[in-house]
Every structure is written in structure tokens, then in C-alpha cells.
Amino acid sequence: MKLFSINQNWIILIGSGVVLVSFLLLSNEKNREPVFIDLDKCDACNLCSYDCPYEAIDMLMKDGKRKAILSLEKCVGCTICIGSCDEHAISHPLFPQYNFEQSNKVDMTVFSCSYFPQHEFPRELNVQEYKVPCLGSVMAKDVQKILDNNSEKIAFLGCEDCYYRLGKTWAINRFLRKRAPLFSKKI
């Protein structure tokens, strides 16, 4: 039984393709701002360049010194490079400010990826949650400060398949002390 003519089938096929392509273009997450690199703080360690899954950071000569230089066209604002930088030379407006105060003790600090579904914790558990653009952006040095000062435990909640390609992999490898900057042995 024939429902549509050949011409109608072509119109449906092309129309569906146009709708699908326009939906994909309009829902693109490329609208995140790029990171900012403070060249005065950059120690040219090269870790951010190695970790960037989009090859948006190159180590180039700037004023006679080797520095991390960002390609604005390639940066998608994933912030994975923030997790690579022990000097806090890289920042992003969506990145949370951590609370290192000893007076604000919590049972658990949770770092969750911005693409991880919303969740609730038991009321009796005192939890401090930080939503980060990607788990790969969590700095080992900051996690250690949080554990030393104001949290008994930490947890990482991330995508099963990292939206930004390698963020979860880099976070796990740092936690397992297989990739610099390393988490402390105490963790």
C-alpha cells in the first residue's frame, strides 16, 4: 500500500533533514565563554596544553618567556585546563569559588559535572556541592585544602561518557596518581 507519492517522500526526507540539522546547530553548547589565562601567574608547565581535548592551548614565546597562549576559536569553555593548573593561572566565570573556611565544616563535599542530572542528598547529611563545568576542572590542590580544612569526605559525580571528551578520564587518572597534577596520597 502506497501512502505517499515519490515527490512527497522526497519532500518529507529533505524536510526532516533540514529540521534535524537546524535543531543540532541551534542546540550547540559552543556558547560557553572561553577560559582566561593570567600570563603573570603561568609557570609554563605545559600541563594545560597536554590536557586540553580541543588543542586550544599552545606553549608559545610571549615577551621572551614561554607561556600558555589560548586559541579563542578552539576553546569551548570546558575548563579542563583549570584542573591542570597548580598556579591558579586559569579562570572562568562559570567556575565556582570554593569555601576553604574551617568554620564551615561539612560531612561531604561533592563536585558534580554541569551535565550530571540534578540529585538530592539525605537531609541528615550536611553536604557542600560545587557544580563544575567538567570534572576534569577540579584541581587536586583545592580538593586537598577542602579535605584538610572543612570536609570529612569528597565525592565526584560525572557523566558516564564525558561531554568534553577527556575530563572524567583526567580526573580519575589524577585521583589514582597517574596524571599530574596529582592528588595527595591521603585522598
Specify the length of the chain in residues. 187
Which residues pair with residue 155 across a beta bridge? 110
Residue 27: per-residue pLDDT = 54
- Pairing, β 106-113 against β 57-62: unpaired
Q: Which residue has the cell 533533514?
A: 17
pLDDT, one tens digit per residue, over 6-35 is 888 789 889 888 877 766 655 555 468 999
What kind of architecture, by CATH, is found in domain 36-175?
2-Layer Sandwich (3.30)
Predicted pLDDT at 24: 60
Question: What are the structural domain ranges in the chain?
Answer: 36-175
Residue of 92, 95, 185 whose CA lies nearest to 144: 185
pTM over 0.95? The answer is no
pLDDT tens, residue by residue, 44-73: 999 999 999 999 999 999 999 999 999 999
Residue 94 and residue 90: Cα distance in Å, rounded? Answer: 12
